[in-house]
């Protein structure tokens, strides 16, 4: 029930689904409960009462705990036939967890990381890349259509996560590059608050640019699009996979360095737009 999970749950409630929610920090379930969701006391209770299980968690450690920890999903008397994991974790970790869940419960796993940030989660216009069996993917399409405008089956388990890493290479580097461009404009005396309008429709334009440039130039970090720490985590995974497969990642490595600096300055849990402050840290 975080930045992404909460608006996704609210959309399912608005579509008429019965939704049961649980979160490690119970208070975050409040808005969903107010909208009609039922609150469970643990993950096993959610699983036992559900036809389809959806997870949106911070990292692999949290995913493993929710599934296999005390009162975890795997301990439920009934576990749904299909689990959809919207979390972004390492592809190899996904494969291992999927195999373990299948062996203990028989539940099929769809890794379905999302892209688009909180605005897309609220609007139901996410991009979702899915790994897993095609039959399971077809089964959950009616649910996913309420959350996303673009859902693509990429192949077997783990390919959804691998595709998300490709997405994060482009997204993470673009976020840092937008900060660099805004900083250049400011240092050169150009009104950076007008960049989005000035470059709109041109070759440099993009959705991240239109979202981030105004926030960075205005130093508006409220209502976060996504946390610095989240992108940090994903780019660490990208670099690890790149090293494993022998792919050179110089741009990603530099973007990660700048995000690390942003986190060290106390902005790890803040909006990704705070990376603009890293360009000013030595001034």
Which tens digits make up the pLDDT trace of 53-75? 999 998 999 999 999 999 999 99
**Plot region of 130 (φ>0 → left; ψ -120 to 50 → alpha; else → beta):** beta
- DSSP letters along 155-169, please? ESTTHHHHHHHHHHH
Would the pTM of this model clear 0.85, i.e. be above it? yes
Inside any domain, residue 15: yes
Mean pLDDT of 274-278: 97
Q: Do residue 233 and residue 251 come from a single domain?
A: yes
Q: Do residue 44 and residue 122 come from a single domain?
A: yes
Strand ranges (DSSP E) for the chain?
20-21, 38-39, 53-55, 82-85, 108-111, 114-115, 126-131, 148-155
Q: What percent of the chain has pLDDT over 90?
A: 96
Q: Whose CA is closest to 19, among 6, 116, 130?
A: 6
**Each residue's pLDDT tens digit, 44-54:** 999 999 999 99
User: 20: which strand partners?
Assistant: 38
Inside any domain, residue 22: yes
Q: Do residue 29 and residue 151 come from a single domain?
A: yes
Q: Do residue 11 and residue 149 come from a single domain?
A: yes
Are residues 76 and 48 in contact, defined by beta-carbon separation less than 8 angstroms? yes
Inside any domain, residue 283: no
Inside any domain, residue 95: yes
Q: Do residue 72 and residue 38 come from a single domain?
A: yes
**Cα 138 from Cα 158, distance rounded (Å):** 17
> What is the number of structural domains in the chain?
2
Mean pLDDT of 226-253: 96
**Each residue's pLDDT tens digit, 185-218:** 999 999 999 999 999 999 999 999 999 999 999 9
Show which of 135, 156, 177 is a domain's final residue: 156
- Report the chain's mean pLDDT, rounded to a whole number: 96
Show which of 156, 174, 197 is a domain's final residue: 156
CATH number (domain holding residue 25): 3.40.50.720
Catalytic residue, candidates 28, 164, 233, 280: 164
Mean pLDDT of 8-18: 98
Q: Do residue 209 and residue 144 come from a single domain?
A: no
Mean pLDDT of 65-92: 97
Answer yes or no: is pLDDT of 280 > 90: no
Q: Do residue 26 and residue 79 come from a single domain?
A: yes
pLDDT value for 281: 73
CATH number (domain holding residue 224): 1.10.1040.10
Mean pLDDT of 259-283: 91
Q: Do residue 10 and residue 87 come from a single domain?
A: yes
Per-residue burial over 170-180, b = 16 or more CB atoms within 10 Å of its CB, e = otherwise = ebbbbbbbbbe
Q: Do residue 147 and residue 203 come from a single domain?
A: no
**Cα 130 from Cα 151, distance rounded (Å):** 7
257 alpha-carbon distance from chain centroid: 20
Show which of 112, 128, 156 is a domain's final residue: 156
Inside any domain, residue 172: yes
Answer yes or no: is pLDDT of 234 > 90: yes
Residue count of the chain: 283
Inside any domain, residue 45: yes
Q: Do residue 23 and residue 152 come from a single domain?
A: yes
**Each residue's pLDDT tens digit, 95-151:** 999 999 999 999 999 999 999 989 999 999 999 999 999 999 999 999 999 999 999
**Is 164 a known active-site residue?**
yes
Q: Do residue 239 and residue 105 come from a single domain?
A: no
Q: Which of the four pLDDT bands, split at 50, 70 and 90, describes residue 282?
A: low
- Enclosing domain of residue 106: 5-156
Mean pLDDT of 36-44: 98
Q: Do residue 152 and residue 206 come from a single domain?
A: no
271 three-class SS: strand
């Amino acid at each position: 029930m975080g930045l992404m999970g909460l608006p996704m749950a609210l959309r399912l409630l608005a579509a008429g689904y019965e939704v049961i929610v649980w979160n490690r920090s119970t208070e975050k379930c409040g808005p969903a409960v107010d909208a009609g969701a039922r609150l469970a006391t643990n993950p096993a209770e959610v699983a036992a009462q559900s036809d389809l299980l959806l997870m949106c968690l911070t990292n692999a450690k949290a995913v493993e705990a929710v599934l296999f920890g005390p009162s975890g999903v795997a301990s439920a008397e009934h576990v749904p036939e299909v689990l959809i994991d919207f979390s972004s974790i390492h592809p190899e970790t996904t494969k291992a967890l999927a195999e373990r869940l299948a062996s203990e419960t028989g539940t099929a796993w769809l890794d379905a990381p999302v892209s688009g940030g909180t605005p897309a989660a609220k609007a139901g216009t996410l991009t979702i890349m899915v790994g897993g069996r095609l039959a399971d993917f077809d089964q959950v399409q009616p649910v996913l259509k309420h959350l996303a405008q673009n859902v693509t089956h990429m192949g077997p388990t783990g390919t959804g996560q691998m595709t998300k890493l490709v997405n994060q290479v482009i997204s993470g580097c673009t976020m840092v590059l937008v900060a660099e461009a805004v900083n250049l404009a400011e240092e050169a005396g150009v009104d950076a608050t007008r960049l989005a309008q000035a470059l709109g429709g041109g070759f440099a334009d993009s959705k991240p640019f239109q979202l981030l440039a105004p926030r960075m130039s205005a130093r508006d970090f409220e209502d976060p699009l996504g946390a610095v720490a989240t992108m940090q985590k994903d780019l660490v995974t990208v670099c690890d996979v790149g090293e494993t497969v022998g792919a050179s990642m110089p741009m990603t490595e530099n973007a990660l360095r700048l995000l690390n600096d942003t986190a060290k300055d106390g902005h790890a849990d803040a909006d990704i737009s705070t990376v603009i402050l890293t360009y000013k840290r030595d001034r």
